[in-house]
Structure 1
Amino acid sequence: MSYLDNPTPIPGTYFFDGKMASKGYNLNKMCYTFNDKQAREEFLKDEMAYCDKFGLSDVQKQAIKNRDVIGLLEAGGNIYFLAKFTGILGLNMQDVGAIQTGMSVEDFKAMLVKAGE
């Protein structure tokens, strides 16, 4: 069985294909703007107004409000763009990986070190 036959072999991961790209286009477009300090400040001033500016769905807005990274992935978020959002929250990629796998950050980091040996 190939990866494409089973696109979500690891719990907490989502296969980002054309359908997901379309689903998450507005979300990812918004997250891309967080490269700019002024955009981050505007977002933090009124998060839901900023989400509305980009036409996020109700599901996406609720996930933003709840800081639900897994929900954002399910809603079409691309991890590379979501990293911009999670950076606003003070999270790094190890934090997000721990969230995705249901591990503590320390256990997730230890798993990465072990995998690299």
Structure 2
Amino acid sequence: MSTDIHTYLAEFDDIPGTRVYTAKRARKGYWMNQFAMSLMKAENRERWKVDERAYLDEWPMTEEQRQAILDRDYNRMLDLGANIYFLAKVFSTDGLSFVQAVSTMTGMSVDEYQAMMLAGGRSPEGVRSIKEKR
């Protein structure tokens, strides 16, 4: 392990299919997460449902972050700093369960995703490093 914290944390980006929620990612996604948490209030959910774009424009986030939210591109939202537990407020506002939303992030159907998870989750076999392709 490297003694430089930045080098050490950068190693997390080499894990295929995994986004480790670091302080850097938290800072990057702060306003996305604040937006998502605002959906805990019924009046905010109603405002969001009436005009998603207008509601998002009230939050000081990047256009890329806003577009990822509008597209419901959960993987992109994670890349841009969102926290999956805060995103739960977004997909529950859309009427999706956690399993339904997360299955879209894997490219699997809900049934396929549920079956995989009930069987113990993803196999640890396969590519373990993006840069080394091993």
The answer for the alignment partner of 2:77 in structure 1 is 72
Equivalences, count: 114
Q: Which ranges in structure 2 are unaligned for 5 or more consecutive residues?
A: 2-8, 122-134
Contact 1:8/1:15 (8 A) holds in 2: no
Given residue 33 of structure 1, which amino acid in structure 2 is its aligned partner? S
Distance 1:6 1:37 in 2: 37
Contact 1:8/1:14 (8 A) holds in 2: no
Partner secondary structure for residue 35 of structure 1: coil
Contact 1:60/1:72 (8 A) holds in 2: yes
Normalising by structure 2, report the TM-score: 0.76
Identify the structure with the greater helix proportion: 1
Partner secondary structure for residue 115 of structure 1: coil
1:63 paired to 2:68? yes
Note the C-alpha offset of 1:10.
4.2
Q: 1:8 to 1:100 in 2, by over 3 A?
A: farther
1:105 paired to 2:110? yes
The answer for the alignment partner of 2:39 in structure 1 is 34
Distance 1:6 1:67 in 2: 24
Max Rg structure: 2
Contact 1:20/1:76 (8 A) holds in 2: yes
1:45 paired to 2:82? no
The answer for the alignment partner of 1:9 in structure 2 is 15
Given residue 35 of structure 1, which amino acid in structure 2 is its aligned partner? M
List, as ranges, runs of 4+ consecutive aligned residues in structure 1 with deviation greater than 4 Å: none
Structure 2 counterpart of 1:25, from 20, 30, 34: 30
- Aligned alpha-carbon RMSD (Å): 2.0
